[in-house]
């Protein structure tokens, strides 16, 4: 079997936390509602981790140079469940529980469903029909510019880590992010060099794993892995 010529290119793994009660209800869960995973949400993480995380698997602990985790309990629990206790102990010095990955601050929209948000905006004379958080932000919460600022800070840190290792010079150069749906989609847009309101329709299911990397081993060509071969 021919070797994977891109295997040495640094990668960023995106891990979304598992299901919560508000996920089931379709309620927007931002930076103020710190609610736990459901039992099913925990099973989602166990299932994904069992298949994708561990020695010889997609997310190889020894290949991680840094792990950035939202400090919200649903993200912290997801991180804890992704790795065995002994592995977490070894990774401790690489983990940063950072506010840069807290979910988008929904402000007045916290706990509401999308239909309720549109109704509220209509009552306030704001664009309702075409509401898009990546364009309009949230009343009383964060604007797209504020979210852009914090994910860009994180991208700069990661690029500085990756730049000397574009050809696998240091095997341990991958990065893991454990966070939330909207903030990870915002991160993806900015990783690819698009404005945060770029119409990129992207999905990341609760408990899901996504992958970002680079084309041609080039730090100036960030990309997402649409598909990859597994040995």
Kindly tell me the sign of the dihedral angle through the C-alpha atoms of 11, 161, 3, 58: negative
Please pick, among 17, 162, 180, 182, the residue that the annotation labels catalytic. Answer: 17
The CB density around residue 40, as the number of other CB atoms within 10 Å, is 14
Cβ atoms of 209 and 58 closer than 8 Å: yes
Strands laid side by side in the 222-224 sheet:
95-97, 64-69, 174-179, 12-16, 209-214, 222-224
Cβ atoms of 219 and 14 closer than 8 Å: no
Q: Which residue(s) pair with 179 in the sheet?
A: 16
H or E element that contains 79: helix 73-82
Cβ atoms of 213 and 30 closer than 8 Å: no
Q: Specify whether 17 is catalytic.
A: yes
Tell me the three state secondary structure of residue 120.
helix
Burial class, 201, CB count within 10 angstroms (exposed 0-12 / middle 13-18 / buried 19+)? exposed
Q: Which candidate, 154, 147, 169, 150, places its Cα nearest to that of 66?
A: 154
Please pick, among 42, 62, 89, 103, the residue that the annotation labels catalytic. Answer: 103
Cβ atoms of 30 and 36 closer than 8 Å: no
Catalytic positions, written as ranges? 17, 103
């Amino acid at each position: 079997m021919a070797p994977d010529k891109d295997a040495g290119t640094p990668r960023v793994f995106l891990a979304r936390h598992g299901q919560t009660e508000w996920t089931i209800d379709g309620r927007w869960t931002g930076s103020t509602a710190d609610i736990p995973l459901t039992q099913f949400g925990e099973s989602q993480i166990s299932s994904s981790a069992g298949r994708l995380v561990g020695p010889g698997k997609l997310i190889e602990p020894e290949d991680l140079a840094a792990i950035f985790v939202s400090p919200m309990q649903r993200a912290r629990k997801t991180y804890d469940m992704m790795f065995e206790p002994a592995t977490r102990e070894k990774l401790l010095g690489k983990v940063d529980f950072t506010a840069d990955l807290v979910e988008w601050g929904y402000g007045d929209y916290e706990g509401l469903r999308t239909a309720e948000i549109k109704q509220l905006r209509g009552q306030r004379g704001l664009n309702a029909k075409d509401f898009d958080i990546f364009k309009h932000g949230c009343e009383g919460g964060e604007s797209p510019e504020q979210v852009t600022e914090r994910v860009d800070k994180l991208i700069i840190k990661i690029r500085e880590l990756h730049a000397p290792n574009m050809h696998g010079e240091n095997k341990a150069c991958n990065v893991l992010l454990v966070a939330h749906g909207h903030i990870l989609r915002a991160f993806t847009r900015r990783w690819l060099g698009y404005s945060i309101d770029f119409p990129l329709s992207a999905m990341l299911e609760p408990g899901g794993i996504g992958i970002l990397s680079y084309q041609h081993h080039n730090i100036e060509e960030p990309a997402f892995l649409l598909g990859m071969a597994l040995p």
